Structure 1
């Protein structure tokens, strides 16, 4: 090929974990205040992929099948006796998100928003319908 291109450079480098985290934090910043007020202690972590222990616990065979995970108890299930618990965590898995982005053809920022809101939805114990409504509100 001319110029030594092998076709891989055409799309540019895949987004870094930092870039995905920036997108996810922008999604969180657009959430209604009622949701943001309860997310102060939630830790957002972007990792390359889920570890074997996490995949085994969920019965998932391949790390590219898990784009995100919420660790913690939904807001409505928390109690005063949780004081020694680790903070709730939202994990986003970069490799799985990149794979889904390539396979689905959706915009990466839309995919990051979808996964982030889905995991936040677990934090609040939301139904799938509630999560879709929240996604629509954030997209505006």
Structure 2
């Protein structure tokens, strides 16, 4: 059995050559998470644009009254399914889900969850807003799901 020192040294060696996950890496994780959703949910997400950025833009930071751009992991922008009625209006921007890489990485560094689990959680949370759910609705569903 390997000693704790050898395991720690091996882990340090493995991490020594690694770079922080890129925007493209986070996008791959998000695409995989989306692909794992049931087909009915994926169908309802058709046309939603998924965008990965390092941080929310200045307009979003101001609008959401964020103390720091690290305070927001993801955001849904658009008109949820409940508000769309028969469909989008002419000239209306597509519904968008934003995932913010740097705040997600910061959260990952501070918690004992895998990066994939965090990206999935944020993505599903924002898709919940696309479905017309409030933060309170989503939190209640998460509590019930355990």
TM-score above 0.5, yes or no? yes
Q: Does 1:41 align with 2:47?
A: yes
TM norm structure 2? 0.79
SS at 1:92's partner residue?
A: strand
The one of 54, 63, 71 equivalent to 1:57 is 63
Cα deviation code 1:62-95 (max 9, x no counterpart): 0111110000111011034623200000000000
Unaligned runs of 5+ in 1: 1-6
Equivalent pairs, count: 128
The answer to which of 81-90 and 92-101 deviates more is 81-90
Residue among 59, 84, 95 paired with 2:91: 84
Unaligned runs of 5+ in 2: 1-12
CA–CA separation in structure 1 for the residues paired with 2:46 and 2:91? 17
CA distance in 1, matches of 2:78, 2:115: 26
Higher alpha-carbon Rg: 2
Give the deviation of 1:10 after TM superposition: 3.3
Which whole-Å CA distance do the structure 2 matches of 1:78 and 1:26 have between them?
27
Paired with 1:117 and 1:69, the residues of 2 have a C-alpha distance of 11
- In structure 2, which of residues 9, 22, 26 is the aligned counterpart of residue 20 of structure 1? 26
Give the superposed CA RMSD: 2.2
Hey, what's the Cα distance between the residues in 1 that align with 2:41 and 2:89? 20
Structure 1 stretches of 4+ moved >3 Å: none
Relative to structure 1, the CA distance from residue 52 to residue 35 in structure 2 (aligned partners, 3 Å threshold; closer, same or farther) is same
